[in-house]
Structure 1
Amino acid sequence: MDWTVRMGLMSPPVAERFFHQVLYADAACWCYPMVPGDALSAVVDFYVWFFVYDDQQAGFLLERDSAGWQVLCTALHAAIEVPREFTAHRDPVVRGLADVLVRLRRESSPRFIRRFASNMHSIVDGYLTEYDGIANDALPVSLDDYLTRVRRSTFGGPVWVDLLELGCELPQEVFESGPFQRAAWATMDFAILFNDVYSVEKEIAAGAPSNACAVIMRTTGCDLQEAIDRTAGLVRACVDGYRSAEAELRQRTADADPTVRAAVGHAVANMRGWFPAMCAYHEQTSRYAMQEWADPARPSYLEQLAPGGREPVERHDPAPAETRPEPGAAQRGC
């Protein structure tokens, strides 16, 4: 909680009332049981940052402030490239991300840093796409369109997959292999769809129906309960898909070097952590407790940060991978 207040991501009164109720930090620990020490501390704060950033989109939508949202996302793109230059930025969302990125880079190889930065750019762009779609009533035309074009980015899927190997990195060929990617994305799709079942009423009330249940209702004409039942069926399919992919991954690496098998075990333990973590988090968090809100469209924990406008920042376009500096520590052993 101290980091959250120090960064300005929650005001002291809001943090005091809600931080331990929303369980963002707990969820991070449950999802990444194998990530060690300082790296886990950075992951915890990144989780908090991500939820607050997501809430800011809701705030900008409620205020119909498209220009302000664009300014914030442009600043985030710049901070992703050179985070050390943004750790004192006036906007708490920008400086919070910069602080976390600086700390994560200390724990990671140059390859991880480059991939994580690229995926963060994609996520910010995904939020811009989602915002424009909601603001202009250009909503996903199918469930597949929703998942692949918008939700996997705005859920943070690519970086949550990256963090599966934090602390014990996989060889690139294993990370990029079909079995690992299928297992990782079955995990992410499970979490996305599970979350959508719990958050659908909150999303609809906020006028931001970027949710699998809402997409199914809109595209098939079914009612909410049927949409929830269909989404629950997809959740179960993700579990089956994960089990199959994990078995293939273990079989493919059974005769690999012990360090590779250890890295696979590390990542698998983190992936497995996501399944009970999503159940525990959604059962216990107050994030979706709409009955306690005075306004269904505005959660009690929602704060519009940095009032009075945001500081314009010129975007730093990413350098080509072959010329970009390679900051960060060498790859760590298991």
Structure 2
Amino acid sequence: MDLTVVWAFLIAFAVFMYVVMDGFDLGIGVLFPSFRVGVERDSAMNAIAPVWDGNETWLVLGGGGLFAAFPLAYAVVLPATYPLIIAMLLGLVFRGVAFEFRWRDPGHRAFWDIAFAGGSIVAALAQGMTLGALLQGIEVVDRSYAGSWFDWLTPYTLLTGLGTLAGYALLGSTWLVWKLEGPAQDHARRMAVRAAVATLVLLAAVSLYTPFLEGQYFARWFAMPNVLFAANVPVVTVIVAFYLFRTLTGKGKHEAAPFWLSLALFLLGMAGLGISMWPYVVPSSLTIWDAAAPERSQAFMLVGVAITMPLILAYTAWAYWVFRGKVGHEGYH
């Protein structure tokens, strides 16, 4: 355990927090066209209104931390995925602008609804495809990206993009099951079942595809004694999936449980990602130690993170606590 490992876990934590917290925001945008115009759409948007902009703090922390703690990885990964990163940022911009102007410009609300949904879909796809591009490998020569502009565009990245899109839709729909009431909640529950099926099918496809991308992936999952540990991830995933469907379709009116079980699926996916990649930050090319900043720089930045991260966690927890109630039929907390 050294500062490089500490920073790797800090960035992984920031990325997981972003995926979890902005994931259900994006998921609601993905599902937005399926809700009826009027109170249903207003209620869905108000379910995330108090927290959506703060959630993206984790994206800044993850990206900034990668640049500061692992500058070589930042310098390799970004040129390899520039089109995806640009698409993601534009999607987030359109989504944010649409979120605000939808209320301030009711005469063009239909346009802003399209921008909100479109921006969410583009951002979710771009994030998933970026992950796929990283996992399938980035060509590195002399510590620099040596590939072409469209190396990221493959069937595997399309699969990871669709999987992320479905996963975010699952998070968004289960969040709405928790936060809404009446017909809107019933609709969200139906969408959650469909999103859960799509997520699990795509998760299985990605999980079966990934070990055959790199020899090290296959060894991590199937070679002894690694398989004794790695096998726990799919087993637990099946158990979580069973209880997720039970809470969504069973007789009991579970509201919060589906969301927490959906988060558990993402956590298991993150664990599987760690099994495949560790200790590489750019698979088969750069380990975390190859890409790390000098130790003194890491120590200096760690002091700042030790101060700011508890503050971020505190105000995030406070915001969620204050707006812990349901969104009523009139569309407000």
Give the alignment's TM-score, normalised by structure 1: 0.40
Give the alignment's TM-score, normalised by structure 2: 0.40
Please state which structure has a larger fraction of its residues in helix. 2
